[in-house]
Amino acid sequence: MPISKNLAARGAALALGLAPTVALAHPHVFVDARMEIVGGTGAELASIRNIWRFDELFSSSVVVDFDKNGNGTLDPDELEAVGETVRGSIAEWSYYTFLTTGGRDVKLAPPATIRGLYDHGQITLFFEMKPAEPVDLARDKVTFSVFDESYFVAFDFPDAQHFQLLDLPASCRQDFSRPDPDADAEDWMAQVSMLKPNQQLPSDGVNFAEALATKVDVTCAP
């Protein structure tokens, strides 16, 4: 199945022809990710920029589907087609990008475009999203994270340097959190064992993707 059809069918830009289920609760696509958190006036959040570099296996499948002239690479017009396909396909999943503050979600405007680069056998996608409401980092602590709720795609932020603060006051600081998958699995099993008969698990058994998502808390409060 061509990747463009995969994207439409699954609603994700990162499908390899498999439908995620509870039995397939492990990733099939791997992304080296970075995020730039960009300030505006004062400590107001202006935008966030995602930079996603995909694994070679997934990237090669994209080349097969989008290399229309058969030259073994992705030319600018072909990369543009990849970006547009991704932009339309993952909108329903909030572009895998989540901001929370005060226990509620912060809505983000969709990206105007998604740009692509193909280099050394891997595809990198770049896109920017702006908050749909004012976010004052001097007043609120905001949590930033990127994850696929189906856990079909794994986004890896190896360290705090993969979250960058740009054009924000020097008083701003970040608290980086990268969960331990084994420890989190044990914690989840312990919680399950304590459920009462009238309590239920999440509909998919476990929101494992969110539990394993790397997060960064940002605040510019004094």
Greater confidence (142 vs 1) lies with 142
Q: At 84, is the secondary structure helix, strand, or coil?
A: helix
The encoded tokens of residue 114 equal 């998604």
Q: Does the pTM of the predicted model rise above 0.85?
A: no
Q: d(Cα 208, Cα 25) in Å, to the nearest integer?
A: 8
Give the DSSP per-residue string, 113-165: --EEEEETTEEEEEEEE-BSS--BTTT--EEEEE--TTSSEEEE--SGGGEEE
What is residue 22's predicted lDDT score, i.e. its pLDDT? Answer: 38
What is residue 215's predicted lDDT score, i.e. its pLDDT? Answer: 93
The dihedrals phi and psi of 18, each to the nearest 5 degrees, come to: -115, 140
50-68 b/e (C-beta count within 10 Å ≥ 16 → b): bbbbbbeebbebbbebbee
Q: d(Cα 193, Cα 202) in Å, to the nearest integer?
A: 14
pLDDT at 14 > cutoff 70: no
At residue 221 the predicted structure's pLDDT band, cuts being 50, 70 and 90, is confident
- Mean pLDDT over all residues of the chain? 82
Dihedral angle, C-alpha 149, 124, 56, 118, nearest 10 ° = 150
What is residue 38's predicted lDDT score, i.e. its pLDDT? Answer: 98
Rg of the chain (C-alpha set): 19
Q: d(Cα 212, Cα 180) in Å, to the nearest integer?
A: 7
Query: Each residue of 166-210: pLDDT tens digit?
Result: 999 999 999 998 876 555 555 655 655 665 666 555 544 456 667
Greater confidence (15 vs 55) lies with 55
Query: Each residue of 78-128: pLDDT tens digit?
Result: 999 999 999 998 998 899 999 999 989 999 999 999 999 999 999 999 999
